[in-house]
Structure 1
């Protein structure tokens, strides 16, 4: 008899949640609570706050903590709450880790240090110092297109030995490297690019941390549910049905935050404006996104 898989440490179907703002650009905590409840009700078992999609470079430390508290209050124990705390400064990141724990986070999303482009030994030391500073589990975040540096597979193999480094959000597009680390560690691997959700899951990944889940949380969960039920053909079909919308949100020339918020506003979900330097999508792009969304929902019905 096959042994059951261990429970995912930070959930399986995670949304990289946008940070709702009011029309004036202030943090919208009521909107965040409404959105968090909607996402969990519709299939998300984890919410990642203040990541790339959450516009973390434009929110203050106090806003990040307030957001964790508000979402924790809204979802209770129905979903994991993971706080994005990554900065290019090890000391500042460690401070944010402590504050996230006080605010009620279940885990931490820690991006590799950006701008300074440290070598691998320094990246490893950065993550170890943060992991040693508290008792929350860490999800490392490898997104070299934004940070300028990889977390190389050999570095991940060493970091996986740390008891509080338990997961990775993978935006490296290195599918071979992901499989090498999966085969040699117990790290929970989460797809950070929606086009890889099913592919990574099929080779042993844990799930996803999805921007597109802000607008189609139930559909994306159904992809993994179908795979788990052994209906791999249906899982593939559902993933393929979502591909046009995934491409329009993530790979059509605008940041995913901009396109996700444009569509969410059109769907009357809490989102609000983006903060500068980002600029909102125009009416034409918003209309295209809405048409793709409605077409997907129509096929999924």
Structure 2
């Protein structure tokens, strides 16, 4: 696979965790420190308050506070993408308008969850959002969390009919579907892996990179993998990927982002716990994670 252009938002985009204090309130100072740490680690953009950022338990006013804080910390060094997706179309439209006023660089919108719309409903949902804004939008397809899959035909219909729908984070696990999207997409439409461990497989098909969980903990290592792949240095990319793969999978031994927050704590950059109904890592989970982190060279 030959990469002929650089993607709009780059190749490594961490879905940033949301730091909380000891009372599980937003820790905006720590969020700014984390954003700065990610930029220093070489990330190309940052997604704020995605699933890894505990979006279901961070309410709209808090989301806006978080977006504002990260924008201040980043200071234009990399794009800041706000996750504004919800399972109510009207709520998403109104919230996106509020987020746009802050100066974010783009939106991510997840497939509506729980209400299980048909494919035509998915199309109209995203088309309505796209028509309400000039901001670039990244779609997010993750059937494991949303209970439905957005089919390649629907994604391509949106990509061709909405100029500001510019990318998709594909976490369906269906490489045939990913291949169909890549081959049928208009010029300039980017396909990102939604799973760190699937990144090289998707880039071999023509995907541009990854919207990453492990990028919170080891951004330099994940950046190396995607850049080697983009340069066509596949053997080196595979070697670097294999060296980090145990942690990519290990972070998902329980519900994300429990273990990525624990991993940050283990490397000396604590970001607080998780909000219910998630629960913090057990001592056993923490010990197993630390062993993996030592194995891959992320923890001394």
State the TM-score bracket (shorter-chain normalisation): over 0.9
- What is the deviation of 1:227? 2.3
- The residue aligned with 1:92 is 91
- The residue aligned with 1:83 is 82
- Coordinate RMSD, CA, aligned: 1.8
Distance 1:153 1:190 in 2: 14
Are the counterparts in 1 of residues 3 and 206 from structure 2 also a CA contact under 8 Å?
no
Are the counterparts in 2 of residues 32 and 270 from structure 1 also a CA contact under 8 Å?
no
Q: 2:217 aligns with which of 207, 215, 235?
A: 215
- The residue aligned with 1:180 is 180
Are the counterparts in 1 of residues 140 and 170 from structure 2 also a CA contact under 8 Å?
yes
Q: 1:247 aligns with which of 246, 249, 256?
A: 249
- What is the deviation of 1:298? 6.7
Q: What whole-Å deviation, never above 9, does each CA across 1:107-152 have from its counterpart, x for those lacking one?
A: 1110011111010001100001101111111100000111111111
Greater displacement, 98-107 / 55-64: 98-107
The yes-or-no answer on 1:279 pairing with 2:279 is: yes
Gaps of 5+ in 2: none
- What is the deviation of 1:4? 7.2
Are the counterparts in 1 of residues 182 and 207 from structure 2 also a CA contact under 8 Å?
yes
| Pairing of 1:139-150 with structure 2 (within 5 A) | 139-150=138-149
Gaps of 5+ in 1: none
Q: What whole-Å deviation, never above 9, does each CA across 1:261-293 have from its counterpart, x for those lacking one?
A: 111112222420100000000112112212211
- The residue aligned with 1:16 is 15
- The residue aligned with 2:28 is 29
Are the counterparts in 2 of residues 34 and 270 from structure 1 also a CA contact under 8 Å?
no
- What is the deviation of 1:164? 0.6
Q: TM-score, normalised by structure 1?
A: 0.95
Are the counterparts in 2 of residues 108 and 139 from structure 1 also a CA contact under 8 Å?
yes
Distance 2:75 2:40 in 1: 12
Are the counterparts in 2 of residues 18 and 257 from structure 1 also a CA contact under 8 Å?
yes
- The residue aligned with 1:259 is 259
- What is the deviation of 1:57? 0.6
- What is the deviation of 1:5? 2.6
How many corresponding residue pairs? 297
